[in-house]
Structure 1
Amino acid sequence: MNDHPNDPFDELMRRSLHAEADRIEPADGLHEIQARVRDQRKPAGRKPWMLTAGAAIVGTAAAIGAFTVLDDSNQAGNDTEVAGPGSPSSSVSASASTDHQPTTAPTPSPAATRKPGTSPTEPKVEPTERGRLEPVTSRAVPVYWLGKAVGIEAGPSVRLYRTWSRIKGRPAYEALQLMTSGKTNDPDYTSPWTGAKVSSVTLTKDGITVDFKQLPRETLDPEDAHIATQQLVYTVQGATDVTAPVKVTERGQPTDQLFGVAARQPMSRAQAQDVQAYIWIDSPENNVVVDSPVKVTGIAAVNEAQLNWRVISEQTQKVVDEGPARTREAFKLTPYAFVVRPLPAGKYALEVFEISAADGRQTSTDSKTFVVK
């Protein structure tokens, strides 16, 4: 309640306020407010390209946010993926192990693209679901043979020589089919496995199992028998790129012996210089047609890294070229190479050998024939 109802100042204030209120007309002020806001937001002198850039930045930020959400979701899914146990060939092929390539978004990572239950490092030759080796359309595989140890009196009378064959199908199985067929283009090489019948080759975490429908029944001298079993080991391991022990079975059952020696336990790979020939010729292969001049390559383990060679004309039976050659290292199986002088068309015999430091005898000879067209 006003304690001074007749106060002239109060009366003057009331009249002034009423008069001001009577001058105001009610109206919808929303449009006016929006217009004022637009006027305030409109920057003075801003270029159109600046507006476009601002919009792009906003869009990019939104996209990054969306990608981050999707990537987190994918990662969560990958956390549940468990890599399967590495195959027996992982340590070897891991030549194989060179297949990883760096990736950047949005390219999926190797973990996101590989099938569940597989290792990120794939072997060159991987097992199928049943452990058998995957077939190939074309591949060169090494096949080992037995050849006489010329001029070497101590140790086994035979040693391993390697040839290369192009196969189609399961590499190890096809390589053993060749080895047991005895079909080699070099008459100096033989196989005591001729007549045996291969059933399967499987890879497991424990090694390689070769099952035969029928094993050879021949009995050899113990030292030669050891070389014969190593022929199998070297051929299988060479075709699979796996250096795991090799177990031999016959119709699924362990075998007690091979060539007269115990063979129930898996066989490991012997040292190369204990079982391989000291000299072999890789190229030219036996009985091939070549251009002249002929380049000869091979592997040898010889005294002082020194070996010798000669080429004999089949027509005249005379030496048409000869000379020395050197290996990369002495006393180790390392490469050698040399070139024969230009030869006229015809058939020739090539011999590569070592001269014994003790008595000058020719030892460890490997030979090939070739035709110059």
Structure 2
Amino acid sequence: MRHAGPEARALCPGPGDERINLGLISLYDVENNAVRVLAACARAAGYRTVEIYFKDWVNNSLDWPRPQELANLVRLVRKHDLGLVGISVRASAYHKVAVEITRALRLHFPELKIMWGGTHAILDPERCIREADLVCRGEGEITLVRLLDRISLGVDCSDLLGLYVRQGQEIYRNPVGPTVQALDELPFRDYTSPDKYFVMGRSVRQGDPMVSDPCFQMMNSRGCVFKCAYCYNSELSELYKGQGRYYRTRSVDSVLQEIKQARRVFPRMKRIRFDDEVFLYSKAWYEEFIRRYPEEVGLPFEVFIEPRLVGEELFTRLRDCGLDVVYMGIQNTYRVTHELYDRHVTDQKVLECVQLFHRLGLDARYQVILDDVEST
């Protein structure tokens, strides 16, 4: 089994210590990779962890939590005797829902510790700490396990890096926590634990809600080499300065091993979607991937790409080893993307990419931004 890395165990409870039970709630996102990685790290460190996928995003709409759904959530927290609940708040659109869930849980469990994490919490911790007991500011794998250790040992956590901590009227604002530089040291996402639930409508379904999906989603990297003004990476890359490399990649071996492990529990797996911000790696990485992927995996795959990274030789070879779908951000015309978004891609380069994808027979899907002051 892969481990969470030696840095993840700042304090290790002994055999006589009582370990706290952890709950992680994903809001309207059954695909949530971050929750699965955090859960795997906590389990590897010896903590029982319950994943709760609370509702799903349907037709670009946030259907407000119903009383029955909140009641089912409360029942799960009580059933598993959770002592710490983390809520994944990926964007500001989820803030009000996170408030609703936090207050519902406090009504039934006044002593329960509630932590918010995710991109919204990282970028707007002051707003989030008004509701939560703790806000995880930064990547959570190392910070979460250190927090679990301290709570289990009864050690104060008000000075823990990566956390905002509210104790009564006092708020302790600690610096951003450490980033995981060696991604290969993280455990693979866990899809087999029985401690997984999907809450939606009147039903509570046990088991991971993604295992029946024919498309398996992979993350081979973290961060991005670009700083497009509309993207959270432009903010996070500044926030993490001094924490090591912002853009990090996994080895080809790590990527392929996770896919092969997942195939044993995804009976309908038909294709792979590499969900990285951009499918960008070293020449040696590409060479190894192109050589090994067809034989060891052999499924069609899709990637996200930026026009400046597209070249005919590379994409011809990627197509030949399974690439069949490409997602490429165009956003807008050169003038708009240059002036508003700090993206320096010419219209001619975009056109060349479109023509190349057509020649290669790739299913190209283009992303545009129209809701801005220049286009509406």
Category of TM-score, reference length = shorter chain? under 0.3
Higher RCO (CA-CA < 8 Å; seq separation 6+): 2
Superposition TM-score, scaled by structure 1 size: 0.25
Q: Write 1 or 2 for the structure with the bigger share of strand.
A: 1
Superposition TM-score, scaled by structure 2 size: 0.25
Q: Write 1 or 2 for the structure with the bigger share of helix.
A: 2
